[in-house]
Amino acid sequence: MNILPKKRWHVRTKENMARVRRDEAKAAEEEAKKQERIRVAENEDRIKRLRAESSRDDNEEDGMVKFVSSGRPELGEDGKSHVNLFASDERLRNHELTNKEAEKEKKKELDDREHKLGIKIKFGDPPDKPWYEREIERPYLDVRSTVHLIAENTEEAREFQKELIQSVSDSADGVPVVGYVKGTIHHIAGDTE
């Protein structure tokens, strides 16, 4: 069958082969990123465990209170506040590295699970109203159009109408202009029929 190479879906066309190569390269890149993230997460976990072990070993030594490396307990910032006997332990705990990306993933997975179970839907933020309960948005009705302004019988409306008629008559060069407002026809002179 010599017809097949001309078919668009044929496996050996140049476009399809290029598409396959591109998809394979993209998949390999995503896999490399995933492996790098796994490696970083494992390193962070290993560091946490080692720090926990070292803090346990320090606390178990002879049942003595460990002072800061200078050999004396740390005073407060102003020198008058309480004595902090556990400053070194607090420093170790504060220096723990956290993987923000892993925390975001965990939070997202938890949110997705709660959403699937209906917990977030029932107890969380109330969902938006369905389309049939929402008010129809018509921003064009908020702006007062010239027809509404002319239809009003106020001083402002009359002035606007005169300005409109004057500007139209100047541009029309003597051609009579007719406007329709609420069933009456307005000529340039302002007559109604």
- Spans of all domains in the chain: 9-71+83-96, 100-127, 139-186
pLDDT at 181 over 70: no
Give 192's strand partners: 186
Per-residue pLDDT tens over the stretch 136-179:
887 666 555 555 655 666 777 777 777 877 776 665 555 554 55
Q: State the Cα angle at 78 between 73 and 82, rounded to 5°.
A: 45
Please tell me the predicted confidence (pLDDT) of residue 146: 57
Please tell me the predicted confidence (pLDDT) of residue 73: 55
Per-residue pLDDT tens over the stretch 32-77:
999 999 999 999 999 989 988 887 776 655 444 444 444 455 555 5
More confident residue, 7 or 184: 7
| Mean pLDDT, residues 69-90 | 65
pLDDT at 124 over 70: no
